């Protein structure tokens, strides 16, 4: 069978490098594809891209915002374009999509790889992603959207023993252990190492063309997940519930280590972050604060569930790939407690 030619933008990033690993996996029937990494000229000579070349990956230096002809040439003979760019480059994907259309790309995967969220009005990042997808559709460019739920590495409790501190960077984690809603919301989740394994299958599957896909086979209630973490760690976890009647199906769950933060408080944090950004304070911490507050808000609305994904028209990998063995949260959390886990965005 002919190999699928794949171009990845953001190949050395947090999501991109897992996709690269899966596409190069000699043990997988979905690996060993023809891979090109598209890099900015200022980055193409750094060590990470040198390492990719040593693994047999072609690296092409081209600016997404540069001349369109150069980008079209870089995408010539490419079957699938996978974008894993950061929020700073989201709008540049429209330029990439236009070039992909001219180059005859057969499938465009925009940078999503996050939670299931309504198309508009809940999360600012999702609003931007929706704008990109709408432009892709306007171009009649074949596409696939892949979302994966909440990453395990982004849902880690602070333990009294401090055993999780090394993998909870302050930029991504607050002091409190926030629980969206009343903790009874189901939350689709994934180990980041499985993202690439799912993507390698999805982008070669004709059933997923022009479809949204939820790539996750683990969707616990958050109270159940905290119970699992307490069981594995042997520690009681202090939780801060983010609950308010605007969240559907809320019934407060009281515990001996319970504290409460209202959704109005979260909405206030969101508004404060937006005002800072509007005033020109667009530093990393402000951006992350807004992003994480909106993720909490969305999860408390019961958005990040397989049921809501199906309502939005998603295909589920639990139906597409029943043979897929996902890394379990128990396995991941034990690695964390053993001091062997890797913090997100640490490389």
> Average pLDDT per run of 10 along the chain, which is 347 residues long?
87 94 79 87 95 96 97 97 93 98 98 96 93 98 98 91 88 76 90 96 97 98 95 94 49 34 63 75 70 82 95 98 97 96 72
Catalytic residue among 129, 137, 211, 221: 129
Specify the 3-state DSSP secondary structure of 115: coil
Same domain, 262 and 114: no
Structure token pair of residue 278: 């509007």
Last residue of a domain, one of 264, 285, 301: 301
Are residue 163 and residue 48 in the same domain, yes or no? no
- How far apart CA 102 and CA 38 sit, in angstroms, is 17
Query: Does one domain contain both 177 and 260?
Result: yes
Number of domains composing the chain: 2
Give the count of beta carbons closer than 10 Å to the beta carbon of residue 108: 24
149 C-beta neighbours (distance < 10 Å), count: 26
What stretches of 192-253 show up as alpha helix (H) in DSSP?
A: 192-202, 222-233
In a domain, 203, yes or no: yes
Examine residue 273 and state whether it is found in any structural domain, yes or no. yes
Q: How far apart are CA 17 and CA 24, in angstroms?
A: 11
Indicate whether 338 belongs to any domain: no
Q: Is the same domain home to 144 and 196?
A: yes
Q: How many C-beta neighbours within 10 Å does residue 144 have?
A: 22
Structural domain of 295: 154-184+221-301
- Is residue 194 in some structural domain? yes
Shared domain for 64 and 165, answered yes or no, is no
On whether both 60 and 141 belong to a single domain, the answer is: yes
Whether 334 maps to a domain, the answer reads no
Claim: this prediction has a pTM higher than 0.85 = yes
Q: How far apart are CA 347 and CA 345, in angstroms?
A: 6
What is the predicted pLDDT for the residue at 252?
Answer: 31
**Residue 343 covered by a domain:** no
Q: Active site includes 129? A: yes
Which residues are CB-neighbours of 170 under 8 A, at least 6 positions away?
none
Same domain, 277 and 227: yes
129 and 175, same domain (yes or no): no
The answer as to whether 333 is a domain residue is no
**Same structural domain, 146 and 159:** no
- The 10 Å CB-count burial string (b at 16+, else e) for 112-142 is bbbbbbeeeebbbbbeebbbbbebbeebebe
The whole-number pLDDT of residue 79 equals 97
121 in the same domain as 39: yes
- According to the model, what pLDDT value does residue 297 have? 83
In the chain, DSSP assigns E strands to 5-9, 34-39, 58-61, 80-83, 107-109, 144-147, 150-151, 178-180, 189-190, 211-214, 239-243, 258-262, 315-316
Shared-domain flag, residues 255 and 320: no
Q: What is the pLDDT of residue 264?
A: 63
179 and 117 in one domain? Answer: no
């Amino acid at each position: 069978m002919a190999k699928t030619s794949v171009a990845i933008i953001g190949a050395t990033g947090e999501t991109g490098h897992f996709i690269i690993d899966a596409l190069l996996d000699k043990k997988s029937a979905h690996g060993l594809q023809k891979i090109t990494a598209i890099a900015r000229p200022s980055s193409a000579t750094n060590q990470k891209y040198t390492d990719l070349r040593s693994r047999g990956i072609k690296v092409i230096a081209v600016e997404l915002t540069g001349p369109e002809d150069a980008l079209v040439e870089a995408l010539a003979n490419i079957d699938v374009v996978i974008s894993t760019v950061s929020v700073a480059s989201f709008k540049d994907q429209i330029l990439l999509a236009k070039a992909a259309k001219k180059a005859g790309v057969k499938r465009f995967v925009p940078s999503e790889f996050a939670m299931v969220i309504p198309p508009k009005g809940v999360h600012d990042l999702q609003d931007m992603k929706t704008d990109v997808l709408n432009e892709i559709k306007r171009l009649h460019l074949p596409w696939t959207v892949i979302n994966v739920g909440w990453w395990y590495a982004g849902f880690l409790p602070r333990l009294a023993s401090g055993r999780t501190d090394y993998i909870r960077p302050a930029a991504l984690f607050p002091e409190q252990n926030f629980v969206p809603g009343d903790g009874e919301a189901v939350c689709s989740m994934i180990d980041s190492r499985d993202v690439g394994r799912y993507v390698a299958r999805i982008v070669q599957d004709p059933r997923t063309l022009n479809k949204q896909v939820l790539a996750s086979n683990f969707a616990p209630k958050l109270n159940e997940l905290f119970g699992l973490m307490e069981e594995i760690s042997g520690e009681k976890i202090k939780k801060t519930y983010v609950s308010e009647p605007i969240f559907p199906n809320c019934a407060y769950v009281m515990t001996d280590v319970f504290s409460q933060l209202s959704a109005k408080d979260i909405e206030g944090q969101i508004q404060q972050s937006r005002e800072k950004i509007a005033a020109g304070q667009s530093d990393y911490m402000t951006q992350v604060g807004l992003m994480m507050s909106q993720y909490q808000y969305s999860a408390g609305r019961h958005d990040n569930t397989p049921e809501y994904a199906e309502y939005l028209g998603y295909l589920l990998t639990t139906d597409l790939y029943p043979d897929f063995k996902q890394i379990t949260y128990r396995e991941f959390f034990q690695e964390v407690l053993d001091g062997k886990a890797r913090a997100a965005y640490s490389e």
